[in-house]
Amino acid sequence: MHVLKLLTESLGFSALPQQESSKELRPVVFWHGMGDTYNSSAMQRVFSTIHSANPDLFIHSIYINEDESKDQQASLIGNVNDEVEIACAQLESIPELQNTQFDFIGFSQGGIFARAAIERCGLDVHTLITFGSPHAGISDLPRCDDSDWFCKRKNAILKRQVWKKNVQNSIIAAQFFRDPLDYDNYLENSIFLADVNNERFEKNMTYVENLKNLEKLVLVMFSQDETIVPKESAWFYDQDKSSGETIQFKDTGFFKQDLIGLKHLYDQDKIEFLTIDDRHMAIGDDFLKKITEKYLGV
């Protein structure tokens, strides 16, 4: 069932004004994060909060499978390249998204996938907003509690096998794993992130031109994030390939070499860096309302 229909039924909004206003306001597309679903209670809270600030926005939430349990599974196991293709085809099939720009919001890994869809499919996106998205990859798996030996054991096994083909083609998190201290293996074996970040010798200029078409890129980092390691990856910060020390945005290869168009966007004053002083994906309603009022639809 389409998310808009679910919302209009559960929140009492009329479908007719939504369709009329979508001709004037930019629609909003969402891509959820790992372990979530396109229509979970958490996502519905987001939709409701955004509609409380602007009830006329048309909303679509990307799904890999309409069955929520399978959609959740697809956020953990699968091939990201295939899922990006599915998402692009899905967006192309929605009448309300045709012949108009729309805004795109990605939560956690959904932010990388949204960016990949823009780069690869040339989506006509006005504003891309990503929350805690590891654009520069994760150099470690989410931290385990000190007493959680099973989690630590699982992470250790996965890290040892992360570059194997069967892992790269089936474990979602492995496909945006990027250890600067093991950079050559990353370039050789990463099936997703090394490509969409344009880090290999042969550059895909289509990616650059497509991302440069954005009018605004909003990068939100969680200051207490322990899920995304390093948390600064949400701002495209990098790590030194010898020492592992943090490299700030304007000193990274992403910026200096303009690998995907970030320097162009920055020089045009089209990138904003925001911080939420909380843990990963702890987004308050007030922050969502401010995002809606400032960036969405108009």
What are the mean pLDDT values of the chain's consecutive 10-residue runs (298 residues total)? 41 35 78 97 96 92 97 97 98 95 98 99 98 96 80 85 96 95 96 98 97 98 95 96 90 96 98 97 95 89
- Domain range 28-295, CATH class: alpha beta
CB 54 within 8 A of CB 292: yes
What's the rounded Cα separation, in Å, for the pair 94 and 83? 17
238-239 and 271-276 strand pairing: unpaired
CB 259 within 8 A of CB 205: no
What's the rounded Cα separation, in Å, for the pair 253 and 147? 38
What's the rounded Cα separation, in Å, for the pair 273 and 49? 22
- Residue 278's pLDDT is 96
Give pTM, 2 decimals. 0.90
Active site residues: 108, 225, 280
Q: Domain-by-domain residue ranges, the chain?
A: 28-295
- Residue 149's pLDDT is 85
- Residue 63's pLDDT is 98
